[in-house]
Amino acid sequence: MLCAVIGTPVRERSRKEAREYTTLYQQWTPPPGYDMKALYFGTDGTVVTLVDIQTSAASYEAAFPWTGWEWKVIPVVEASEMLTIQQKVRAWEDRVLGG
């Protein structure tokens, strides 16, 4: 499942903590089933990734080392697919609600 994963810092980190996270990140590799397509860092400490997640276990393993962030996982679809889905759901709503 393709997801946008956004990590927001839970609290301000000391310089030492920031360096420790950098060291951890330099040695980290995503677990099997967590295929990162893109990774971005904001100047405010926010992390944004685009990830193809195969299992919930892979998602858990990928997030576990990064306890200094609150993670939000958002399934995403391309715009053309979104339009097709919306049309399908609206047709169903019209049938059910008589619209």
Domain parsing of the chain, residue ranges? 2-97
**Is the model more confident about 56 or about 10?**
56
27-66 pLDDT per residue, tens: 999 999 999 999 999 988 899 999 999 999 999 999 999 8
Residue with tokens 């030492």: 16
SS3 52: strand
What would the mean pLDDT of 76-96 be, rounded to a whole number? 95
Q: What percent of the chain has pLDDT over 70?
A: 100
Model confidence, pTM = 0.80
Identify the pLDDT of residue 44: 86
- The dotted CATH code for 2-97 is 3.30.70
Give the whole-angstrom CA distance, residue 51 versus residue 11: 25
